[in-house]
Amino acid sequence: MSSSKSGSPGTTGKPAKTAETGAPRRATAAARTEGTARTAAGATAATARTTAPAKKAAARKASVTKTPAEPAKAPAKPESHLAMVRRARRINRELAEVYPYAHPELDFRNPFELLCATVLSAQTTDLRVNQTTPALFAAYPTPEDMAAAVPEEMEELIRPTGFFRAKTKSLLGLSAALRDEFGGEVPGRLDDLVKLPGVGRKTANVVLGNAFGVPGITVDTHFGRLVRRWKWTDEEDPVKVEAVVADIFPKSEWTMLSHRVIFHGRRVCHARKPACGACPIAPLCPSYGEGETDPEKAGKLLKYEMGGQPGQRLSPPADYPGTPAPPLGAG
């Protein structure tokens, strides 16, 4: 046979693939596959290393958010009316222990003097009234005397109390009414008292409770302010405040409750800077913290006998623990 026919029939002339030739190629492909796998594994590991801290941080944040170190307190349930009444009566009992000497802080010797002094106390202090009334009552000791007064002369006597012209008109009017309609005597009924010029429910209750022993609630600025701070009521109108408080306490407590609340408002629970840190009823007060809570600083805010200062009366009751107020012009 001729040697020129080197390939087998049907071949193209290209060398045939042998086992030896295909093996290196398979090895190379496997190496590439392995390298790719190693690269992918490395990338996965790198991604895991990168994201792990982030996941841990997120987990810590979620843990703090869901489980705070100090759980927030659940909002307090609204106080029921019964609970408020019990708290209000306890406040009254506590104040009775703090101010066993509570009393009207106007000097008077009879119902007429108390009526006139209460009318004069509008828009001024009881102290200034007490410093003014000695001269007034020396000049006009009875309703008949006062009804006959010369207006200009009375105005000069009561000028220190402020609004002296309007107050003179009220005093002259109520004195004439007492002379003409009540035989020169102050009536002991609310309906009669509020008919007198310049006399409202507050003044009438002061006179009834302290000159006649008839229970009454005195809703002055101090009383109204404190009962709202104590959440007994949110009413602003004095008549409505009186009605609400009258439903909380027995009638026998009305007069002394008024004195205790007013005493506390003047001495401790002031309008602008209440002495919360020195308040004896702080645990019962829902408004605690509106004023100074530091005990030492709060102690410096106390007034009158609580702060070692003179009271408002020139002639206080015998059991008053403080010192009498000075007369007008003294000191």
Q: Which sequence positions are flagged as catalytic?
A: 202, 220
3-state DSSP of the chain: CCCCCCCCCCCCCCCCCCHHHHHHHHHHHHHHHHHHHHHHHHHHHHHHHHHHHHHHHHHHHHHHHHCCCCCCCCCCCCCCHHHHHHHHHHHHHHHHHHCCCCCCCCCCCCHHHHHHHHHHCCCCCHHHHHHHHHHHHHHCCCHHHHHCCCHHHHHHHHHHHCCHHHHHHHHHHHHHHHHHHCCCCCCCCHHHHCCCCCCCHHHHHHHHHHHCCCCCCCCCHHHHHHHHHCCCCCCCCHHHHHHHHHHHCCHHHHHHHHHHHHHHHHHCCCCCCCCHHHCCCHHHCCCCCCCCCCHHHHHCCCCHHHHCCCCCCCCCCCCCCCCCCCCCCCC
Identity at 168, one-letter amino acid code: T
A 10 A CB-CB count for 323 gives 13
In the structure encoding, which two tokens stand for residue 195, read together? 């008919």
For residue 211, give the amino acid letter. A
Burial class (CB in 10 A: 0-12, 13-18, 19+), 225: middle
* Exposure of 319 in the CB half-sphere (CA atoms within 13 A): 5
